[in-house]
Structure 1
Amino acid sequence: MPLPSQLTHALRFFSLPNLDSRLSAPTSNPTKLQQIQSKAGVNRWTTLEFKFYWICFLIVVPYMYYCAIDLSSETNVDNYPRFSRLLTQGWMFGRKVDNSDSQYRFFRDNFPLLSVLMFAHVGLRKGVKCLIPNLTRKTFDFWFGLVFLVAVHGVNSFKVLFHVMIMFAIARLFQTKYKIAVLLLWSYGITTLFLNDRYRNIKLAEVVHPALSFLDPGFKGIVSRWDVFYNFTLLRSLSFNLDFLNRTDEIKMAESKKDEELKSPTPNNSNSTASLNDFSQKLILEERDRMNASLDITTYSLINYFSYLTYAPLFIAGPVLTFNDFHIQSFMPLPSINLQRTALYAARFLFCVLVMEFLLHFIYVVAISKTHAWINSTPFQISMIGLFNLNIIWLKLLIPWRFFRLWALLDGIDPPENMIRCMDNNYSALSFWKGWHRSFNKWVVKYVYIPLGGQGNRLLASLAVFTFVAVWHDIELKLLIWGWLVVLFIMPEYFLSSYFRKYHSQNWWYRHLCAIGGVLNVWLMMIANLYGFCLGNDGTKALLYEMFCTSSGLSYFLVANFALFIAVQVMFELREDEKRRGIDVKC
């Protein structure tokens, strides 16, 4: 039995396949589809247990919003005067707006300009194509990208070009020494993050030549903090050069194998190479094949390098698309790109913008966190400050990412969707990181996790991944601690889930035991992220003290565990319902 009809209609707009075709059921592979569906459990939506859960949702969720709105109102006499200075006049129902987050404020304030730029870029490409039919997409991307780079970063563009050209040179100079080249690329790439953090305002005349002193006081571009957006350029630069080195090494190994076969010929009746057309058709449909494609070595040219690095829709904040995938899509647009899907994606983007505007106009938790305005707050109130803060962080990342992905879709490129789960719809730390910044997750899996051994060396590979992720985000000690905490919290889940998986199909209590584990995971993920991104050291200490050192806090902790247990059970069933429809995204 499917979901209740009214809920089905409400959720259809938010379905995973409508978000990204990569998340669709494998209808072209009946065997795989049947395998996924066979793993799904019985439908529980209409059972007495889940009817009770729905009643709890109808009571608890509105009360959570009421608490957060009450904390943000002028009636909160202990704290409102402390954070009200960060509020500005809004446009929704005469309310003030909390526009104090500098990262989202940049996007929110420049949204009209970005929208004009998006339609201008897409329209210009179509116009130029009509006037110059023989102009290749790569050539257009190369010249538009260079102009776009200067417009965004001004004279600081030279600093970006300096770094990426050094990385290009490293890959070329050491291409015959694969391990050395990879080590040097990673070493220099990570070093640039530290250099940019410390010397982002250094003058060109000081590091290049005094003759360039006339450039230093010049136009700094729309975004003067070039080092912030350089981080995404670094990912693309590493992708291009590592893909080049992997292909070079692949050719070297193939030539060596060919030499051995010539020395000791053996009969081989199989046809190991498919035609170019067959291979290309496969690449269009399979993302993994596009990422690991064996492209012609001449593909890794300087013009393709810059057309990829400076591709306007994905330049500022991604999503991250590997070079091989980007190059293939540039010549062979995916069948997933069509007007209906793009229009639906645009509608979902606008819906998320309106949700964010509602939160910023009614729930001022960002300003509260910045000013530590939680005097005399109960453990429940502090936890709501943290929870809604995490939701706003999720939205402030999701909205720009979806805008830039929408821009790419309109331009004929389909990058991965970065956020496929609501932040509140996660019970597993392992699964959470597969659905949060998904394109970055795919990137680190390909270029960091797998090269370091993957599942065969899980602890070391995970430590390397989250250390790099922390440093990549910001050169800050608390983010390094956050990264190591994430690994620490992931390990118990991995070992316990591996041990208890054998009871999956035999015992009625397995689902409830997993829900208890899910509750523990939620607490651990909340604490790690509250410490790293929201409340900081003081706020996290205040929350933990109030929860475990006061009677009211202990009472709240018990009730919160019960509520989280219910929430995790609903999360389980949502995923089981997806499997019944043939969708298994493993997060």
Structure 2
Amino acid sequence: MSNLVNHLKDFFSLETLDGRLKPSENQLKRQAIINRVNPQSRWSSLEFKLYGVVFAIIVPLMFKTGMDASNETNPNYPRFAHLLSNGWMWGRKVDNSDQQYRFFRDNFLMLCGLISIHCLLRRIVNIFSGTRKRTYFDFGFGILFLIGAHGVNCLKIFIHILISFSIAHYIPSYKIAITLVWIFVISTLFINHHFRNFKIGVSLVDDGFKGIIARWDVFFNFTLLRMLSYALDYLEKKRQNGNLLEKSNSNLSNLDDRQRLEAPLPISDYNIINYIAYITYTPLFIAGPIITFNDYIYQSNYQQLATVTNYKRTFIYFLRLMFCIFVMEFILHHMYVVAVSKTKAWNGDSPFQISMIGMFNLNIIWLKLLIPWRLFRFWSLLDGIDPPENMIRCMDNNFSAVAFWRAWHRSYNKWIVRYIYIPLGGGGKYRILNSLFVFSFVAIWHDIELRLLMWGWLVVIFLLPEILATYAFKRYQEESWFRYLCGFGAVINIWMMMIANLFGFCLGKDGTLHLLHDLFRTFSGIQFFILSSGALFVASQVMFELRENEMRRGINVKC
């Protein structure tokens, strides 16, 4: 039994997701992390045994309530039944009404075929190409993929990426080039939003083959991040005037993930072939994970991932991916919460039921992003490129708003920190202002909607209590009661994060206000709020211990 538990711990550990998350190889740093926590595990204590009983009662009840609120037995079922499709699990219907995930789900087998073709061609080309750089293959395959995916619309993409390239290369002033690149890239978000269907008057372009994905602008936001990464990395290199080249050319080996961000690449690597190869790198083109230009070129042409020695790790990563796909299918076949939220079919539901509709909606949002990201990262790992893992925590395993954003879309978070947050000054004097700017960009990047911009500002407001409380109570962290105080703070944090995300992505304004009204204006709502807050307190203590268990092994991912 203990061996099975250990295997499960290993299977769901951070290291199986990303080699960057293993214990630090620096013994002093590793020991410093270990010394920060209580060496004695609490799992066998009476307190945590009682928490185990709470989990055994609450978690099944949550699933049952979510099913009761969205299944055939609910009186609101006729209002959303038309959004359901025939499923494959035990003759049940499936909620395939989310447009974003439906595109991925319906084209899953085609994606698997593309992955097989790409990996096979890569190996064949490697046999005959000798020492030629991998980016030549990425350049050719990427262009063919872009034409197949977007047809004549790929011309619009090339116009964007070539303008960005030209600004970076042909504007002599560093500051002016940086400013123009940012102005151009952000303006494209608004231009593409309002004029994506604009006809230019050329029949070949207006009425020609639009590819498998006619909406070229849907995935362009990820292309935009790569455009910025190349331009900013190149401008930084150009500003250094090649001074690092002579000093560091012999150092292009065994760089870790942080060193690769500023890899001392020759200025000649910042060319149009490598640029287009990076922009159109097929495994990561559609949705990432995001990898910077410096990191991509380093892994492509200087030190590839040793796939032969990482087959076991990659296979376990594949099993984790399949597990997540099965969980998603199980939820979509048993809880039709997406269809409920689309039709606002929650009349007569209790606050507990409405909150579970929202919570499982959030879990589906998490899974619908996690699954494609992990599939594309798995494809990239097979190809020898190791991008950051995007999701390292389960959505339900979060108690801190600050830490949540470090773990959610991690590669994008790293991109934001490198190219926006640190250049603005990071967590210094203007931390709140910088955070406001960051989340405004994040909201606009997702979509040009006032609702999402308000969501971004709401997130920053909800960060304030945690930041202030952390500063005020940090001096008491050695006290025995500090963990319980943090638990109460975590409950408040979780409620605020849930409300912000329910408003932004699930229930909308009407559903969120309806939930808040029932929570605080009805007896059953107040009762549910008190009991659920107690359950969240228990959950927060378990989350604390999970992180301390990681730190006892020398792992501190700060989220």
CA distance in 1, matches of 2:130, 2:258: 32
Q: Say whether the 8 Å CA contact 2:142–2:281 is kept in structure 1.
A: yes
CA deviation profile, 1:217-265 (whole Å, cap 9, x unmatched): 111011111101000000000000100011111228x59xxxxxxxxxx
SS of the residue corresponding to residue 375 of structure 2 reads helix
Output aligned runs, 1:44-123, within 5 Å: 44-77=42-75, 79-123=76-120
* The one of 449, 471, 474 aligned to 1:476: 449
Deviation, 1:5, is 6.3
1:202 aligns with 2:198: yes
Q: Which residue of 1 aligns with 2:364?
A: 392
8 Å contact kept, 2:42–2:545 = yes
2:110 aligned with 1:137: no
**Alignment of structure 1 residues 340-419 onto 2, 5 Å:** 340-419=312-391
Does 2:442 match 1:446?
no
Offset from partner CA, 1:21-46 (integer Å, 9 cap, x none): 000001x3211111111112231111
Q: Which residue of 2 aligns with 1:224?
A: 214
Q: 1:17 aligns with which of 1, 5, 15?
A: 15
1:215 CA displacement: 2.8
1:467 aligns with 2:463: no
Identity %: 56
Contact 1:419/1:438, CA 8 A, preserved across alignment: yes
1:322 aligns with 2:295: no
Which has the higher mean CA deviation after the structures are superposed, 128-137 or 518-527? 128-137
- Cα 1:275–1:306 change in 2 (3 A) is closer
- 1:443-496 residue CA offsets vs partner (Å, 9 max, x unmatched): 000000000000112112111111111000011111000100111111221121
Aligned partner of residue 94 in structure 2, secondary structure: strand
Alpha-carbon separation, structure 2, partners of 1:159 and 1:467: 26
SS in structure 1 of the partner of residue 218 of structure 2 = helix
Deviations 1:364-418 (CA, angstroms, capped at 9, x unpaired): 1000000001000111100000000000000000000000000000000000000
2:37 aligned residue: 40
Aligned to 1:238: 228
2:152–2:210 CA contact under 8 A, matched in 1 = yes
TM-score, normalization by structure 2: 0.97
Contact 2:305 2:381 in 1 (8 A): no
Question: 1:574 — aligned with what?
Answer: 546
C-alpha separation between the residues in 2 aligned to 1:382 and 1:373?
10
1:436 deviation in Å? 0.4
Residues 405 and 417 in structure 1, CA contact (< 8 A), matched pair in contact too: yes
Indicate the residue corresponding to 2:458 in structure 1: 485
Residue 424 of structure 1 aligns to a residue whose secondary structure is coil
Of 226, 238, 253, which aligns to 1:281? 253
**Partner of 1:148 in structure 2?**
145
Tell me the equivalent position of 1:167. 164
The amino acid that maps onto 1:526 is M
State the secondary structure of the residue aligned to 1:281: coil
**Residues 1:542 and 2:514 aligned together:** yes
Give the residue type in structure 2 aligned to 1:96: K
Mapped to 2, the partners of 1:290 and 1:204 lie a distance apart of 42
Letter in 1 for 2:222: F
Q: Does 1:504 align with 2:480?
A: no
Distance 1:423 1:46 in 2: 26
Q: Which amino acid aligns with 1:328?
A: Y
Task: Give the CA deviation at 1:333.
Answer: 1.3
* 1:334 counterpart = 2:332: no
Match of 1:31 among 18, 28, 32: 28
CA displacement at 1:6 relative to structure 2: 5.6
Secondary structure at 2:424 match in 1:
coil
Provide Cα deviations, 1:406-438, integer angstroms capped at 9, x if missing partner.
000000000000000000000000000000000
Runs (4+) of structure 1 exceeding 3 A deviation are 3-9, 272-277, 334-337
Deviation at 1:273, TM superposition (A): 7.5
Alignment partners' CA distance in 2, 1:45 and 1:504: 21
One-letter code of the match for 1:357?
E
Distance of 2:116 and 2:472 partners within structure 1? 53
- How many angstroms does 1:130 deviate by? 2.1
Aligned counterparts of 1:576 and 1:346: Cα–Cα separation in 2? 27
How far 1:335 moved relative to its partner?
4.7
CA deviation profile, 1:43-79 (whole Å, cap 9, x unmatched): 11111110000000000000000111122222112x1
In structure 2, how many angstroms separate the alpha carbons of the residues matched to 1:158 and 1:479?
29
Tell me what 1:563 maps to.
Answer: 535
1:322 alignment partner AA: T
- In the alignment, the residues of structure 2 paired with residue 137 and residue 204 of structure 1 have an alpha-carbon distance, to the nearest angstrom, of 36
- For the residues of structure 1 that align with 2:10 and 2:334, how far apart are their CA atoms? 28
Instruction: Tell me the SS of whatever aligns to 1:516.
Output: helix
User: Which ranges in structure 2 are unaligned for 5 or more consecutive residues?
Assistant: none
CA contact (8 A) 2:249 2:264 kept: no
- Does 1:305 find its partner at 2:265? no
1:131 deviation in Å? Answer: 3.3
Q: Is the 8 A contact 2:248 2:264 kept in 1?
A: no
Q: Deviations over 1:493-514 (max 9, x none)?
A: 1121022111111x11100000
> 2 CA distance for matches of 1:463 and 1:274?
39
Instruction: Judge conservation of contact 1:282–1:289 (CA < 8 Å) in 2.
Output: no
Deviation of the 1:275 alpha carbon:
5.8
CA distance in 2, matches of 1:163, 1:411: 27
Per-residue CA deviation, residues 169-195 of structure 1 (Å, 9 max, x unaligned), is 111122x31121111111110110111
User: Take 2:117 and 2:439, find their aligned partners in 1: how far apart are those partners?
Assistant: 38
1:171-186 equivalence runs, <5 A: 171-174=168-171, 176-186=172-182
Residue 4 of structure 1 deviates from its aligned partner by 7.0
CA distance in 2, matches of 1:476, 1:586: 31
Match of 2:260 in 1: 290
2:183 paired residue number: 187
Contact 2:33 2:556 (C-alpha < 8 Å) held by counterparts: yes
Describe the superposition over 1:139-161 as per-residue Cα deviations: whole angstroms up to 9, x where unpaired: 11111111111111111101111
Partner Cα separation in structure 1 for residue 49 and residue 459 of structure 2 = 34
User: Is the deviation greater in 564-573 or in 180-189?
Assistant: 180-189
Counterpart CA distance in 2 for 1:82 and 1:343 is: 43
